[in-house]
């Protein structure tokens, strides 16, 4: 494409909330046949909120608020959106209760947060661990007593994080994140163009399937660790596909860079935006179809 037609394309994109950083992205967009989308913060709002706190049989001598409180004390040291949801809920539960501890969460010691798995730490002498079933297993805790409760929550599309206290499964926290209002129409527009949409997430398979079913997405790559998101993109490219990847998180940066076209949410992290050729203002996925139309207009000017 000529520098002039690219400039016009970039300008028109900006008017539609599609910020194009490199000309190559604009040129390639019309050839994209596969759009891989991150779930949390991309298909969904990325503002998760706690919707359920369920206790394991073995933890019934305690209350749900006690479990939430211990979990929140550890999550307070994490910046993950799920952690924010748990801390916010603990604060509001405390404000609603009669306790007079002035809303302060206890200190956490020996904090650790393996990416894509969960967090752990010691709170008031108790060993608290929060995260995936695989994370509990890796710490020699059998998550089986929590499996049914977690599956029930996941079937509703919620993320279920497991909590273990002093080496014993203690409960499950259900966290829900709304699908963006703009997502269903954006996906419909892509399908009309014959594009395959694939969901990519670190979240559990059951949760991913529930959200995907609502959105009519029939291909899912779930429980993908942060380091492996780019591998999925590379595998699809090796099949000869032209792949766009849309994401918002620090975790998504390598996949954004690996894709033919990286599309960052303007509502997302700076690292994601820096790794992408295109930024969708307000995180509106309708910008993907708009970018393809622009690309087509720019490239057919050339032909
Ligand atoms: P996504 O790909 O949806 O952005 P992540 O890769 O960040 O998700 O995390 C994958 C999974 O790891 C989460 O669904 C959750 O079960 C677990 N996890 C990650 N961080 C935390 C945390 N701070 N607290 C609890 N669970 C966590
Ligand atoms: Mg995300």
**Domain edges within the chain:** 3-45+179-302, 49-176
Whether domain 49-176 has CATH 3.40.630.30: no
C-alpha distances in angstroms, 86 versus 9, 47, 49, 129, 163? 43, 12, 8, 13, 12
Residues lining ligand 1, judged by CB closer than 6 Å? 39-40, 75, 78, 80, 82-83, 116-119, 130-132, 159, 161, 201-203, 226, 249, 251
Entry pTM: 0.89
pLDDT of residue 302: 65
Q: What's the distance, CA 242 to chain centroid?
A: 23
pLDDT of residue 11: 94
- Ligand 1 nearest-atom number relative to CA 130: 25
Whether domain 3-45+179-302 has CATH 3.20.20.140: no
Spell out, as residue ranges, where the chain has pLDDT lower than 70: 97-103, 302-303
**Which residue's CA is the nearest one to ligand 1's atom 24?**
118
pLDDT of residue 3: 85
Query: Which residues are bridge partners to 246 per DSSP?
Result: 37, 263
Query: Is there a contact between 207 and 160 (Cβ–Cβ < 8 Å)?
Result: yes
Catalytic residue status for 38 = yes
pLDDT of residue 175: 98
Active-site position among 33, 38, 140, 260 = 38
By percentage, how much of the chain surpasses pLDDT 90? 85
**Best mutation site among 132, 154, 252 for ligand 1, i.e. most ligand atoms within 8 A of its Cβ?**
132
pLDDT of residue 97: 67
- Ligand 1 nearest-atom number relative to CA 200: 2
pLDDT of residue 112: 97
């Amino acid at each position: 494409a000529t520098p002039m037609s690219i400039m016009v394309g970039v300008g028109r994109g900006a008017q539609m909330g599609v910020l194009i950083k490199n000309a190559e992205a604009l040129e390639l967009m019309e050839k994209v046949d596969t759009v891989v989308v991150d779930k949390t913060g991309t298909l969904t709002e990325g503002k998760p909120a706690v919707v359920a706190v369920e206790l394991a049989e073995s933890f019934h001598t305690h209350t749900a608020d006690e479990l939430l409180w211990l979990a929140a004390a550890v999550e307070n040291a994490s910046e993950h959106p799920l952690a924010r949801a748990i801390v916010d809920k603990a604060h509001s539960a405390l404000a609603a209760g009669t306790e007079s501890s002035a809303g302060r969460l206890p200190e956490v010691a020996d904090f650790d947060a393996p990416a894509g798995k969960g967090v752990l730490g010691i709170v008031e002498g108790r060993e608290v661990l929060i995260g995936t079933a695989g994370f509990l297993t890796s710490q020699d805790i059998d998550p089986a007593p929590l499996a049914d409760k977690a599956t029930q929550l996941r079937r509703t599309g919620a993320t279920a994080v497991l909590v273990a206290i002093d080496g014993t499964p203690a409960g499950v926290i259900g966290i829900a994140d709304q699908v963006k209002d703009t997502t269903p129409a954006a996906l419909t527009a892509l399908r009309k163009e014959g594009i395959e949409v694939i969901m990519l997430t670190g979240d559990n398979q059951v949760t991913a399937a529930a959200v995907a079913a609502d959105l009519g997405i029939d291909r899912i790559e779930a429980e993908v660790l942060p380091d492996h998101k780019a591998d999925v993109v590379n595998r699809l490219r090796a099949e000869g596909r032209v792949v766009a990847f849309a994401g918002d998180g620090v975790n998504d940066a390598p996949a954004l860079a690996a894709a033919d076209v990286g599309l960052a949410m303007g509502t997302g992290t700076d690292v994601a935006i820096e790794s992408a050729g295109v930024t969708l203002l307000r995180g509106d996925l309708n910008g993907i179809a708009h970018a393809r139309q622009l690309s087509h207009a720019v490239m057919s000017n050339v032909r």
